Amino acid sequence: MTADQARAFWVTAPGHGAIRDEILPTPAPSDIVVRTRYSAISRGTESLVFTGGVPEAEWSRMRAPFQAGEFPAPVKYGYCNVGEVEQGPGALVGRTVFSLFPHQTRFVISANAAYALPADVPAARAVLAANMETAVNGVWDAAILPGDRVVVVGGGTIGCLVAWLASRIQGTDVCLVDINPARAAVAAALAVPFALPDDAPRERDVVMHVSGSPAGLELALSLAAFEATVVEMSWFGAQSVSLPLGEGFHAKRLSIRSSQVGHVATSRRARWDYRRRMEFAISLLREPTLDALITGESAFDDLPAIMPALASGARDAICHRVRYGSD
């Protein structure tokens, strides 16, 4: 394969994907050429993209930073990429960087769009950076304070990271809730208590919902204490959600707050920009216990076969990492 060639994973039609050849653009002086070492599948959003579940009204807002093509397909989508700089400004050549680029073997981006990894953040763990950024923003939106009783409903990548972050705030009482009992082992690795829905603690000051399921949001409302806030971090795509707002919702004066990573949380926006937030998220990945969230790995060439299983839930995974060869 020549210096201007690469291969990329594309959603060719809802539920179908293929690896296509790419011709790289000529780099500008301020650009870098990156050879990918790892990427990761952000299962919630990428499953919706893969299955064609992004509603037409959201096609513009849901574009990934380096997306190619248009929804529903063909589209090249993804935002968890770690690679080595082959060419560019001298200070970056040879450095390992994180970027929000899709699943592609080599690519060209502006040097300003890449984040050099600290020496003590391994490339294989750095694929969690985008999810950590989302989790940080969610915790900011929730305004969790010392002593708060917190429950996180949904033990996917972001839910686990939210629970881990919240548990590190002094004096918080945090529980991760999921319907899958296998998540208990991951919660234990993160030193976070775990419960199945029937055993979930109630009367919580803050409830974070990250399950992507309407039933999960209904459960989240039932766990909230008087005048508590339920922070909704799931994105349902075109799916309609019905909620029991005629039960305790009004009597308990509950609030539902949206959290979405596209904007820095209101409480931080005056002082934090996207770059500062991402650099902070990457710095948090020094913690080796976070490796527990990488529950599967496959080769880049296997993506067309792996994505249908991940999108359908047939393959249980929290974060699924993709490794790249030498091309």
Give per-residue pLDDT as tens, 282-295: 999 999 999 999 99
* Predicted local distance difference test score (pLDDT) of residue 104: 98
Number of helices (H), then strands (E), belonging to the chain: the values are 9, 17
The string of pLDDT tens digits covering residues 59-112 is 998 899 999 999 999 999 999 999 999 999 889 999 999 999 999 999 999 999
Q: Using alpha carbons only, what angle is made at residue 15 by residues 9 and 18, rounded to the nearest 5 degrees?
A: 25
Distance CA 76, CA 43 (A): 15
C-beta of residue 192 within 8 angstroms of C-beta of residue 168: no
* Predicted local distance difference test score (pLDDT) of residue 2: 67
Q: Give, in order, the Cα–Cα distances in Å from 79 to each of 129, 149, 185, 282, 315.
A: 10, 32, 27, 14, 21
pLDDT above 60: residue 122:
yes
Domains of the chain: 5-129+272-323 (3.90.180.10), 144-258 (3.40.50.720)
* Predicted local distance difference test score (pLDDT) of residue 157: 95
pLDDT above 80: residue 326:
no
State the maximum Cα–Cα separation within the chain, in Å, rounded to a whole number: 66
pLDDT category of residue 314 using cuts at 50, 70 and 90: low
| Nearest CA-CA partner of 318 in 186, 194, 197, 225 | 186
Q: What percent of the chain has pLDDT over 90?
A: 83
Phi first, then psi, for residue 290 (nearest 5°) are -70, -15
**Mean pLDDT to the nearest integer, 1-10:** 87
Q: What is the pTM of this model?
A: 0.94
DSSP state of 142: H
Distance CA 76, CA 11 (A): 6
C-beta of residue 150 within 8 angstroms of C-beta of residue 206: yes
The string of pLDDT tens digits covering residues 55-72 is 888 899 889 999 999 999
* Predicted local distance difference test score (pLDDT) of residue 315: 77
pLDDT category of residue 141 using cuts at 50, 70 and 90: very high
Burial of 70 (0-12, 13-18, 19+ CB in 10 A): exposed
Distance CA 291, CA 285 (A): 9
Token pair belonging to 17: 């994907």
* Predicted local distance difference test score (pLDDT) of residue 1: 60
CA 196 to chain centre: 23
DSSP state of 103: S
C-beta of residue 40 within 8 angstroms of C-beta of residue 127: yes
